[in-house]
Structure 1
């Protein structure tokens, strides 16, 4: 069960104009100005994913800044797919720091948010104190662009590839019933099942009997349903449609991240672990929790505790 989950106060939204777009930002702990932590959600997710971590971070003395990134919630949803590339996504974060008057901050990211945080650190190393990543480890930039590699290894039905090869198809399935898709995707105690042929996320969206148990209460699901009913899923999916462009954009960056980093995995997460993480992130500590993909929600107490303990052990420089 989820005792008192919906009673945790979540900050009010503020619309902030940065980098040519309006972002919906949830801010807490302004009394701790000077000790910023920026929380970056993934897909299909929202800043609301951090509802357990925000009060604990504020209580520990941090100024928390959690945007709905472009494409999500009430934040801007540009029509041009290119406006969701890594330059725009990391540019939003840099402009957020400027807005609040910060040269540097600690960045926490989950899933796609972790990719944005890793990339932001590569492109703006002077602006990052520490990195906490969940689910998605640093993605090594190999010899061929990421989408081409994925198609060669995983096939055209792999969801990254499908999003690019068949634009609009998955979007329409998800948009048709956002609550059903989110409820089917956000599960706890899922068995790790072998993949079936076909496009996995469309299968999940249409599943009448998804495995595991719902992760979200009805009140929590209602937050996601309202947000994605309003925004649709295309803006977030456009992040995937820039993966090869991002591969090219990151070509000139020094690939090694020197900042202290904490990498949190869910043991039952379908996202693969990195076997070469310490090569590219030499100052990383790795932690695995008995969780599926949504580790900061499913194992929120352990995740929050691990983050706070690690931050305390690695003070800002």
Structure 2
């Protein structure tokens, strides 16, 4: 159970209120790099060092890594990490405990109650109302998770404001790039009332652009899609190149595939001329760094386009220009996803 003093201190909730020692911070950084490329099991070796040193964010991602390792199962190990983070006021860990039924399956409940939903709101709502954008975004996830009432579901279906949407908009208006990107994506995918496709995409672009201006790479990935939907293929290509340079796995894969086979896509994304050496080099680098199955499959289907000498040249180019580039590769998994 959560101690009363800890619960009271949650109103001062901060994911990390002190600096980690340099070696522990380095371990956390490596753990997050591995987690972000989908190697969550290996990441745990590094994240556990920061989590055991008191880093709340690392505790949460240890829980996430445990959960993913067991096919999204709610294991005792995952629950243990979520509980540690929840004691420090982390709302995402509390939501995992709620979704996993921690009170029901193990009687691990917040102090003075049996409802992780209420505990999460008690922690987060005061901070959001005081103007904290991170807390506002957390409330978006909280209310979205708790959205079981039929009228909220109907409002959501109609595109009308719900508590979840309102807090997402407030977080976006407060300048949080993650919230701006999510809001733009929601609009692009059908939320809200827009009478034409062009107006919808313009509204989505407005929010996404604000996140891009802050260097937020998932927003660059979204901009590539928005521009493609607007049939601005030249600019879409530029966004794919930029996101690739900033470490986007999906956009680097698209870039390599376009260079290797510009005709592969019928949606206009490949505006380039074929460059077999460059394409093979990019895909080879993804295979070497990530063991990426998509890159492997594309290379296998197109291997007859290059001679053995050309493949060796491409692999040398990969070693020189693509493997180990900074910033590091990332799949940019959502903070509170499946």
Bin of the TM-score, shorter chain as denominator length = under 0.3
What is the TM-score normalised by the length of structure 1? 0.27
TM-score, normalised by the number of residues in structure 2: 0.26
From the two aligned structures, give the one with the greater helix fraction.
Answer: 2
Choose between structure 1 and 2 for higher RCO, CA contacts under 8 A separated by at least 6 residues. 1
